Structure 1
Amino acid sequence: MTSQAITIRGLTKAFGRNAVLRGVDLDLPAGQVTVLMGANGAGKSTLVKVLCGVHAADAGEIRLDGRAFAPAGPAAALRSGVVTVHQNINDGVVPDLDVASNLLLDSLAEGGGLFLNRRRMRAEAGKIAAAIGLELDMARPVAGLSLADRQLVAIARAMAHRPRLLILDEPTSSLSLTEAQRLFALIDRLRGEGVAILYISHRMSDIRRLADRIVSMRDGQVSGLFETVPLDYSGAVRAMLGHEITEVDIAIPVPGAVMLEARGLRLKPEARAFDLTLRRNEVVAITGLVGSGKSALAAALFGLEAPVAGEMRLDGRDYRPRRPAEAVAEGVFLAAKDRLINAVVPGFDIQQNLTLPFTPRHAGPLGLIRRAAERAAAERAIAAMGVVCQGPRDGILTLSGGNQQKVVVGRWMAEASRLLILDEPFQGVDIQARRDIGRRIRDSAAERATLVLCAEIDEALEVADRILVMSEHTLVGDHRNENIDLARLMTEVSGAADRTKEPA
């Protein structure tokens, strides 16, 4: 019989009148990966924060290896062997410190004199990094690392604690396929060593690869447990949502006039130049691995970084934005990825976050903001995107991750534009929120040209009329979203396709 590393019985937690956890019963067996699925707002994050000592439960009991477990804080949970890698990467790293200091941060916090010698400290950190195959300069500041490398540093730091329970919250959201496979191998090793793993994800590819069992949550309660092989993935999704999943209807429209045309565009000196045409009333998705050049293309189109070569025309006129303000003035909008780093202003409410780029448009003759106009614009965006909230003056951080993402996307869909660029618009959202955002993107496509950048092929298939593939900062594939050759598409995404062939 499998031993239970963690047993949870009758766990409840409320914030004011809002009951977030409602009598949760859950077992986390040693040596197994339990995947936790739940719509945004189901209570997953609160459950994790109780387990890792950020919040105290109002009622109920948690037992770790048979003993009562009620950590007074994150440090106490860590000492007990409960280690968490949060979805927000900056919760797991300190950007101003170097890699070595981050990997040994917990030992430094405890005042370990062993690590005051910088040379010895970097040697110890190097051993931790080597254990997961992480090849980074130990003296490099974390602030200079890519998001994927920051994620790997946070994971390596967690592994150094020899966890009894390891909690991973959407750990592959910023990782390339190769990096994700490395993480999966580590999880397999820890599973074999008897570590209990709670893996929170909406990615079915991750779930199919890792899950020994699936737990679904809805409205603060466990709504389904699936541990009979073969696992019932569809049943887990139904239990999570409380209904059958609704699909985005892909009816390929007739594309409109050319909105953006790029010729001989080169994003890196060593990259091959390519052409790009985007039309009104067409949703074009660009997919590719992390680092393939999708975000570099967005930066060039939005005036964040000038391309090495090439020319662009927007609505028939030369287009050479030198800064984002010029792009916005021309009607080119970018909803950036990694919302907590690049898009959400934590201290602002929902209304302020929704209207931030267009504040001057809500100002009166004397430059004062007309709050009624601003509120009306925010309420329209909330209704259009289906943001679940009490009202527009709620703090943005009171929302679930999926609703925060709807605010980020809705901010740029609330005003008329020529070209809307959405960089990873489905990042960190549940399946139904993904459908809601995708439906809104398609419903408004006639108003503009739309470019969606996404690493997940499934996301591209759900939202796009046409799918382009990037590899090594150039386009290597162009497919109409009808009877797509998925094998060919996957080959192009992996970088194995013949790059001498120009996109169709």
Structure 2
Amino acid sequence: MPSDSSPHQQIPALSLHDIAMSFGSNAVLKGVTMALYPGTVTALLGANGAGKSTLIKILAGVYSGNGGTIEVAGEPVVMDSPLASAQHGIQTVHQHIGASIIPGLSVAENLVFEEIVQGRIPAVRSHAKLLPRAREIAATLDLGWSDATLRSDVFELGIADGQLLLLARALVHRPKVLILDEPTSTLSQAEADRLFDVIKRLCREGVAILYVSHHLDEIRSLADQLVVLRDGRIHDVQDQPFDMAVAVRSMLGKQVALDADTLVEKRGTVPALELRGVQLLRRSGQFDLDIRYGEVTGVVGLIGAGKSELARGIFGAGRFRAGTIRFDAKAYRPRQPAHAVERGIYLVPEDRASEAILPGWSIAWTTTLPFIGRLARAGVLNIPRERTSARSVIHAFGVVSTGCDQPVDALSGGNQQKVVVGRWLTQSPRVILLDEPFRGVDIGARHDICHKAREASEAGSCVVVFSSDVDEIREVADRIVVLVEGEIRMDAYTSEVDSEAIVKSMSEVA
């Protein structure tokens, strides 16, 4: 704390009074009042669809015309644009990086992009002249990117590095208020730990931080206060020490188990996929792996361990560097995803925003796109069948929506994920590959997706879940396979190992 006084005796860095926001007849925020204090972390919790994203966009100046008042350091302000928000000392790092990173520009140009827009750096300038400033911005997070990386197209950065880029760009402005929306959803543990150190440093410097996360362990260790938003209203406010059971009930309006104690482990015997001599990464060794029907296989590893390469190779969206696959005891060589889909092998990709949904497309179109050939005769789409299929996903997965004609990108993140997962699981897959299916979804949605994945396994599907989160894997998997640098370090059933052993194996190198 920058002051000996209680934070609640200080003038708030940011105050919200009776904030309301509606879209047509849909009231999303219904009178939100809260305050952020200098040098403190306020955690904002809420199920998907609670109104968190709308509140964040109001503070970031993306949405205007809301009811209520906003004060910065006790003075009323108007947040009618992102520039106005920044001028009042508010910086926001959004969960979805696609809206803030400019493809086609280099990493360096993206780092200095705001300064170019504001005219502080000429729009036409050589990389050689941009690099010194880009290095300064990258240094705020000790990113250590080489000049070659800074010169490369930003598209070549992974999701995690893209989020770190945006965070570095925000920190260089020395904000009074920093809003972090699911900041660790794409980070490795080492990167997350570095972020936590930055957050603690910023608090010592008097920055007020609004921290949005579904990870309760992060909130326990980082936050000074938690605020629970449900159905557009504040339902719980707590100071440390937190009662997480109360917070979760407030979030969901019901009790949900926070652990995997109720999982009844299953063990399969019949291989669905037999991988032999597989090499995932340029410098990794080869391995053999059988993935069986009748059990949920959890593949866990840090970012860069090769999880997505394994999933994409099985789906035909990428190629293994070496190795063969047998599916149902027959040679299987998918050259493109369509070949996998024809055989009932489906993938829910890691990044739903860029790889699984199309902006403006309805829920009906999104759920039926991969199977459009099954719903058409002589080139004419059977609209009633399409809508029936979409409604079955909405009903089976509890998608909160206005109906199957609603644009999928208008849904909350968790409901988008339910649509993406549901369109595959409702089609009786032979093999379903779920790559980071819980990213950015609340505890309730995670519980629902876990339940549906296990139901699919019990119904005869081969289910593989890929995640970097040990607790998430233990909630859903019967068997755990740990990948480190493209190689298997552990292959055991969940009942045979504890979380500590899994984490230890994830950190071991050959």
Pair in the same fold by TM > 0.5? yes
- CA deviation string 1:374-400 (max 9, x = no partner): 111111121111111121111112211
- CA deviation string 1:197-236 (max 9, x = no partner): 0010001232123111111111101111111x32222222
Report percent identity of matched pairs.
42
What SS class does the counterpart of residue 95 from structure 1 fall into? Answer: coil
Correspondence 1:182 to 2:194:
yes
Where does residue 419 of structure 1 map in the other structure?
431
Q: How many residues of Structure 1 are paired with residues of Structure 2 in the alignment?
A: 495
Where does residue 207 of structure 2 map in the other structure?
195
Where does residue 374 of structure 1 map in the other structure?
386
Q: Give the distance between the partners of 1:154 and 1:80, measured in 2 at CA.
A: 19
Q: Name the amino acid aligned to 1:336.
A: P
CA contact (8 A) 2:391 2:404 kept: yes
Offset of 1:113 from its aligned partner?
Answer: 4.5
Where does residue 120 of structure 1 map in the other structure?
129
Q: Name the amino acid aligned to 1:300.
A: G
The counterpart of 1:298, out of the listed 292, 311, 326, is 311
Where does residue 360 of structure 2 map in the other structure?
347
Offset of 1:416 from its aligned partner?
Answer: 2.6
Where does residue 177 of structure 2 map in the other structure?
165
- CA deviation string 1:95-149 (max 9, x = no partner): 2211222111111111225675433322111111112111223222211111111
Where does residue 242 of structure 2 map in the other structure?
231
Q: After TM superposition, what 4+ stretches of structure 1 lie above 6 angstroms from structure 2?
A: none
Where does residue 407 of structure 2 map in the other structure?
395
Where does residue 240 of structure 1 map in the other structure?
251
What SS class does the counterpart of residue 235 from structure 2 fall into? Answer: strand
After superposition, the CA RMSD in angstroms is 1.5
Offset of 1:256 from its aligned partner?
Answer: 4.8
Correspondence 1:252 to 2:265:
yes
Q: Name the amino acid aligned to 2:452.
A: R
Q: Give the distance between the partners of 1:394 and 1:10, measured in 2 at CA.
A: 28
Provide the TM-score with structure 2 as the length reference. Answer: 0.94
Offset of 1:485 from its aligned partner?
Answer: 2.8
Identify the range of structure 1 (27-36 vs 117-126) with the bigger mean alpha-carbon deviation.
Answer: 117-126
What SS class does the counterpart of residue 13 from structure 2 fall into? Answer: strand
Q: Give the distance between the partners of 1:439 and 1:281, measured in 2 at CA.
A: 15
Correspondence 1:83 to 2:91:
yes
CA contact (8 A) 2:281 2:485 kept: no
Q: Name the amino acid aligned to 1:134.
A: L
What SS class does the counterpart of residue 458 from structure 1 fall into? Answer: helix
CA contact (8 A) 1:43 1:217 kept: yes
Correspondence 1:35 to 2:46:
no
Identify the range of structure 1 (429-438 vs 135-144) with the bigger mean alpha-carbon deviation.
Answer: 135-144
Identify the range of structure 1 (51-60 vs 2-11) with the bigger mean alpha-carbon deviation.
Answer: 51-60
Where does residue 283 of structure 1 map in the other structure?
296
CA contact (8 A) 2:47 2:230 kept: yes
Offset of 1:428 from its aligned partner?
Answer: 0.5
* Unmatched 5+ stretches in structure 1: 500-504
Identify the range of structure 1 (425-434 vs 244-253) with the bigger mean alpha-carbon deviation.
Answer: 244-253
Provide the TM-score with structure 1 as the length reference. Answer: 0.95
Correspondence 1:469 to 2:478:
no
Q: Give the distance between the partners of 1:86 and 1:55, measured in 2 at CA.
A: 14
What SS class does the counterpart of residue 482 from structure 1 fall into? Answer: helix
CA contact (8 A) 1:246 1:432 kept: no
Where does residue 155 of structure 1 map in the other structure?
167
What SS class does the counterpart of residue 444 from structure 1 fall into? Answer: helix
Identify the range of structure 1 (477-486 vs 243-252) with the bigger mean alpha-carbon deviation.
Answer: 243-252
Where does residue 465 of structure 2 map in the other structure?
452
Q: Name the amino acid aligned to 2:374.
A: R
Q: Name the amino acid aligned to 2:249.
A: R
Where does residue 73 of structure 2 map in the other structure?
65
What SS class does the counterpart of residue 428 from structure 1 fall into? Answer: coil
CA contact (8 A) 2:20 2:28 kept: yes
Where does residue 440 of structure 2 map in the other structure?
428
Identify the range of structure 1 (238-247 vs 339-348) with the bigger mean alpha-carbon deviation.
Answer: 238-247
Where does residue 501 of structure 2 map in the other structure?
488
Identify the range of structure 1 (94-103 vs 431-440) with the bigger mean alpha-carbon deviation.
Answer: 94-103
Q: Give the distance between the partners of 2:466 and 2:275, measured in 1 at CA.
A: 17
Where does residue 225 of structure 2 map in the other structure?
213
- CA deviation string 1:441-478 (max 9, x = no partner): 11121321111001111110111111110001011101
- CA deviation string 1:264-288 (max 9, x = no partner): 2122342121111112121111011
CA contact (8 A) 1:11 1:57 kept: no
Q: Give the distance between the partners of 2:267 and 2:498, measured in 1 at CA.
A: 22
Q: Give the distance between the partners of 1:403 and 1:246, measured in 2 at CA.
A: 20
CA contact (8 A) 1:115 1:121 kept: no
Correspondence 1:131 to 2:153:
no
CA contact (8 A) 2:471 2:499 kept: no
What SS class does the counterpart of residue 169 from structure 2 fall into? Answer: helix
Where does residue 331 of structure 2 map in the other structure?
318
CA contact (8 A) 2:267 2:478 kept: no
Q: Give the distance between the partners of 2:109 and 2:87, measured in 1 at CA.
A: 19
Q: Give the distance between the partners of 2:65 and 2:229, measured in 1 at CA.
A: 17
Q: Name the amino acid aligned to 2:299.
A: I
Offset of 1:294 from its aligned partner?
Answer: 0.3
What SS class does the counterpart of residue 348 from structure 1 fall into? Answer: coil
What SS class does the counterpart of residue 447 from structure 1 fall into? Answer: coil
Q: Give the distance between the partners of 1:114 and 1:362, measured in 2 at CA.
A: 53
CA contact (8 A) 1:302 1:324 kept: yes
Where does residue 107 of structure 1 map in the other structure?
115
CA contact (8 A) 1:335 1:425 kept: yes
Offset of 1:257 from its aligned partner?
Answer: 2.2
Q: Name the amino acid aligned to 1:313.
A: R
Offset of 1:313 from its aligned partner?
Answer: 0.8
